[in-house]
Structure 1
Amino acid sequence: MSDFEDNLKKAEGYLARFKRDGVLNRIGGQDVASADGSTFESISSVDLKPLATVARGKAADIDRAAKAAKEAFPAWAALPGEARKKLLHKISDLIVARAEEIAFVECMDTGQSLKFMSKAALRGAENFRFFADRAPEARDGKVLRAPGQLNMTTRAPIGPVGIITPWNTPFMLSTWKIAPALAAGCTVVHKPAEFSPLTARLLIEIAEEAGLPPGVLNLVNGMGEDAGRALTEHPDIKAIGFVGESRTGSMIMKQGADTLKRVHFELGGKNPVIVFADADLDRAADAAVFMIYSLNGERCTSSSRLLVEESIYDAFTAKVAERANRIKVGHPLDPQTVIGPLVHPVHEQKVLSYFEIGVAEGATLAAGGRKIDGPGGGPYVAPTLFTNVRNDMRIAQEEIFGPVLSAIPFKDEAEALAIANDVQYGLTGYLWTADVTRAFRFTDALQAGMIWVNSENVRHLPTPFGGVKNSGIGRDGGDWSFDFYMETKNIAFATAPANIQKLGG
């Protein structure tokens, strides 16, 4: 039996429970159907066949979950940080123990290849370990002295929070939000994306097996227009952490306005990778290819615009096209596959539409640009490269969220910077140059929340993660996460008699 055949057999075993039992909501430590009994089907990205019947939560289900989170909050918030640390480490250990199951389920639910999903579950475990270690110091603040006064700051968890996560790498991104919330002492209502709901169920099972008290983490599946809206409007939910489209983020902000909801958004991107002629061009080409074609191009930090200095433009884009044409598209559980099927036919239609748009705008298809007949008949598309692109074209301005790269030439540093900044987004940027002074100048002026110089996206968990402009609000990572999930309080102690004005004496 080949590795691929063995993977298929294992995946069938892992998915059997979902096909048999479906996916219920999990509220207050109990499995519950939706209040009105409604459901929806989660389909496989590979063959579009049903994977599970999922409870479709709505406002009544969100209300029940929010009340469970509110009831569980005082005890969880009062738990010593060391106790939360121990419990979150146990969650991490159990994630590692079930990493293969998580990866295989996610491959079939999202279409992402095992090449990347095998590491995503382990990254989720690292997220829990990282924030677990910081739980004991989450409430720590500063001592600030003033004449005749000593100020002490402290932090306290904000309360029950809502977490809304996307369909791309859903398990890892859920841990990225949920782990710091739990470490801070918040309780959580989690609404995963309807396209890929299965691993959210695995996460809450793991958390409760580790000893997480009932109601601390609650799971409600459903659609954005009903469950998502109810969560963002609920008065018991004090904050919303959201990862997804910029347009949806804007809607969430409006919906949460009446309850003065605190929001943290990780939104879309149209991220540039800027390559100067003095760069290590082979490494730059490898990085550009990796950052757009890994994870099916369905990632907010993908480098979807390739800006190349004119003198090397033709040779460099030829390198990228050659690499793109060699990428294997296939079944996500095949160990050799790099690009699997897109998450859903609805998303496939969006991506395919941009192939037509790009050609109509006058760009040249240097690689891909077509649908592929992949195993199972799912929504497979070829890794695509457009050349002769202008930055005012839609393929250079709009987030496609697929394996589609638009290559734009530039004359000099000033033009490269102008092109890089001339989009509504500002999540990441990637700069390739051997000129250190240029790197300092360019990164200082580049409008992005995160920039990598002579590197692909290599995350260091203590650093801030987030974007500017339409790419988001706020930062995750390190202490920045605790700033979102906690309120800061200042207490001022008089150390000498103050001159108090006498009124009415």
Structure 2
Amino acid sequence: MTTTQQSFALNSLTQDFLARDEHFLFINGGRVPASSGETLSTVAPSTGETLATFSSGNAADIDRAVTAARAAFQGEWSTWTPYQRQELLVKVARVLDERFEELAQIESLDMGAPISRVLSSKPALMRMLSFFAAQALNISGETLQNGIPGQVTTMTLKAPVGVIGGIIPWNGPLNSQFWIIGAVLASGCTTVLKPAQYASLSVLRVAEILHEAGVPAGVVNVVTGRGSEAGTALAAHTDVDRVAFTGSTETGQRIIEASTSNIKKLQLELGGKSADIICADADLDKAVPAAAMGVFANSGQICYAGTRVLVQRSIVDEFTEKLLAYVDTLRVGHSLDPDSALGPVISESQLDTVLSYVDVGLAEGADLLYGGQRLADQAGGYFMQPTVFGGVTNTMRIAREEIFGPVLSILPFDDIDEAIAIANDSDFGLGGAVWSENISTALKVVQGVHTGTMWVNCYGYVDPMVGFSGTKLSGYGAKGTSAHMDTYLYTKSVYIQL
């Protein structure tokens, strides 16, 4: 494992954006300061230095943005045809394709993801926009039979829900926001986005680019600020019809409580503690790197990270040896270094939290096999060694609680029934995987594990045509497929007396 610390050239557009004295809110097609005049600073996780200053919105700003979104929803935007909305999405895709390097650099600097990882996410974003462009033409109701006497024709129509509140996570805001924006533009809804305090810049920049590309004023609004102020106000606002949230389970529970103000519809993608099951007949040349990066990608800051690696006991030693050898090749460094496999974690406080779990694991009797320390030679940055624990049982906190950092736990199992039982012995149900050359074994695990998404001989694929969702404390609500679009629409029953 090696580390790097150096400077890197930035796109001129990136430089111009970062050079602004203050990054304002984006409401009704324009940049506006927070009503209070208050600001917050964002820190580059790779250096610990202030990267930018942005407006700190509050309830009054959320109300301004919701008012703009409601006016746009009821205004000219409501007259756009499905073809026009599809055409707009195609244009947005083309513009984002041209501007992706700028956005990727902003994202990498602001939240610390390795630039190689962000750049490699571009095809996924293009596929997502293609999916939603297709969905714009796929909204339809039904003509239904009925039992009413006389000549009564009955049908259903699908109509846009209205104003969508979107609360964006800090672990990948550039692509995450388009699960909301794509559905909004396809359905005819409007949105107010509240990005995470730690990573707001790419969301603000995207809103500006969307407006330049022709998205009407008020359709996409962004209010930055503290979650306890702007986020809470958005979740509770009585003129917001639906909230889509990705983040911690604890925050999700508070959003559920806030939604009772007007019985909002919700889509919640929350915490995870996914089990990655390695059977004795697995192809370890494929399973080892995939299991490692199923945890260490984005420095472990992925909700569906496979942090519980369940390994059949007969191959635990072989798997562990290969895993540690692979981890030792991973390069940790500045997020803009194209050779970095791992960047920093998002903040000093998050680093402290992750390191505290290393102490917890040791105290509980787990074996620290690799890492476990902050990288001291990365001056100012929030870097941590990729960390591997062996000798872990499913009763330990490091196996039960979401750490959200680069910490992998190896748990042995004897047979498939035991592996399924261990996987299901969790409060979470977001992701999971099984590695086996026997399709019957793999399907038994797929059918037995109670989780929203399962991968077989792979890890982490997400496609909007297939979908992704959670169970248990990992949340609920469709993400992807036509069911995703249905949550941005409501069904209207129509009776016509002939």
TM-score, length basis structure 1: 0.94
In structure 2, C-alpha distance between the alignment counterparts of 1:147 and 1:464, rounded to whole Å: 36
In structure 1, C-alpha distance between the alignment counterparts of 2:170 and 2:379, rounded to whole Å: 20
Equivalent residue, structure 2, for 1:9: 9
In structure 1, C-alpha distance between the alignment counterparts of 2:424 and 2:96, rounded to whole Å: 40
Q: Counterparts of 1:312-351 in structure 2 under 5 Å?
A: 312-351=315-354
Structure 1 vs Structure 2: percent identity of aligned residues?
A: 37
In structure 1, C-alpha distance between the alignment counterparts of 2:108 and 2:130, rounded to whole Å: 24
Q: Unaligned stretches of 5+ in structure 1?
A: 496-505
1:294–1:379 CA distance, 2 compared to 1 (3 A): same
Query: Quick check: 225-234 or 173-182, which moved more?
Result: 173-182
Matched, 1:243 2:237: no
What one-letter code is carried by the residue in structure 2 that aligns with 1:315? Answer: E
What one-letter code is carried by the residue in structure 2 that aligns with 1:87? Answer: L
In structure 1, C-alpha distance between the alignment counterparts of 2:211 and 2:186, rounded to whole Å: 15
What one-letter code is carried by the residue in structure 2 that aligns with 1:134? Answer: Q
CA-CA distance at 1:220 after TM superposition: 0.3
What one-letter code is carried by the residue in structure 2 that aligns with 1:24? Answer: F
8 Å contact kept, 2:69–2:163 = yes
Q: Which secondary structure state, in structure 2, belongs to the residue aligned with residue 260 of structure 1? A: coil
What one-letter code is carried by the residue in structure 1 that aligns with 2:158? Answer: R
Query: Quick check: 437-446 or 51-60, which moved more?
Result: 437-446
8 Å contact kept, 1:238–1:261 = yes
8 Å contact kept, 1:330–1:374 = no
In structure 2, C-alpha distance between the alignment counterparts of 1:393 and 1:368, rounded to whole Å: 19
In structure 2, C-alpha distance between the alignment counterparts of 1:283 and 1:120, rounded to whole Å: 21
In structure 1, C-alpha distance between the alignment counterparts of 2:43 and 2:19, rounded to whole Å: 10
Matched, 1:108 2:103: no
Matched, 1:70 2:70: yes
What one-letter code is carried by the residue in structure 2 that aligns with 1:137? Answer: N
Matched, 1:173 2:176: yes
Equivalent residue, structure 1, for 2:36: 36
Equivalent residue, structure 2, for 1:154: 157
Q: Deviations over 1:144-173 (max 9, x none)?
A: 335677542221000011000010111100
What one-letter code is carried by the residue in structure 2 that aligns with 1:326? Answer: T
Equivalent residue, structure 2, for 1:59: 59
Q: Deviations over 1:36-63 (max 9, x none)?
A: 1111101111111111111000000000
Q: Which secondary structure state, in structure 2, belongs to the residue aligned with residue 47 of structure 1? A: coil
1:349–1:5 CA distance, 2 compared to 1 (3 A): closer
1:445 counterpart (440, 445, 448)? 448
Equivalent residue, structure 2, for 1:386: 389
Equivalent residue, structure 1, for 2:18: 18
TM-score, length basis structure 2: 0.95
CA-CA distance at 1:122 after TM superposition: 4.4
CA RMSD of the aligned region, Å?
1.8
Q: Which secondary structure state, in structure 1, belongs to the residue aligned with residue 8 of structure 2? A: helix
In structure 1, C-alpha distance between the alignment counterparts of 2:173 and 2:461, rounded to whole Å: 19
What one-letter code is carried by the residue in structure 2 that aligns with 1:105? Answer: I
Q: Which secondary structure state, in structure 2, belongs to the residue aligned with residue 10 of structure 1? A: coil
CA-CA distance at 1:439 after TM superposition: 2.1
Q: Unaligned stretches of 5+ in structure 2?
A: none
Q: Counterparts of 1:352-363 in structure 2 under 5 Å?
A: 352-363=355-366
Equivalent residue, structure 1, for 2:129: 128
Q: How many residues align?
A: 491
1:13–1:484 CA distance, 2 compared to 1 (3 A): closer
Q: Deviations over 1:292-322 (max 9, x none)?
A: 1111111112111000111111111221111
Equivalent residue, structure 2, for 1:260: 263
In structure 2, C-alpha distance between the alignment counterparts of 1:443 and 1:142, rounded to whole Å: 34
CA-CA distance at 1:494 after TM superposition: 7.0
Moved over 3 A (4+): 4-7, 143-151, 492-495
Equivalent residue, structure 1, for 2:421: 418
Q: Deviations over 1:185-238 (max 9, x none)?
A: 110000000101110111101110111111011110011111011101111100
Q: Deviations over 1:256-277 (max 9, x none)?
A: 1121111100111100000110
8 Å contact kept, 1:428–1:449 = yes
Q: Deviations over 1:225-254 (max 9, x none)?
A: 110111011111000000111110000010
CA-CA distance at 1:460 after TM superposition: 2.7
8 Å contact kept, 2:237–2:261 = no
Q: Which secondary structure state, in structure 1, belongs to the residue aligned with residue 354 of structure 2? A: helix
Equivalent residue, structure 2, for 1:93: 94
Q: Which secondary structure state, in structure 2, belongs to the residue aligned with residue 153 of structure 1? A: strand
8 Å contact kept, 1:124–1:176 = no
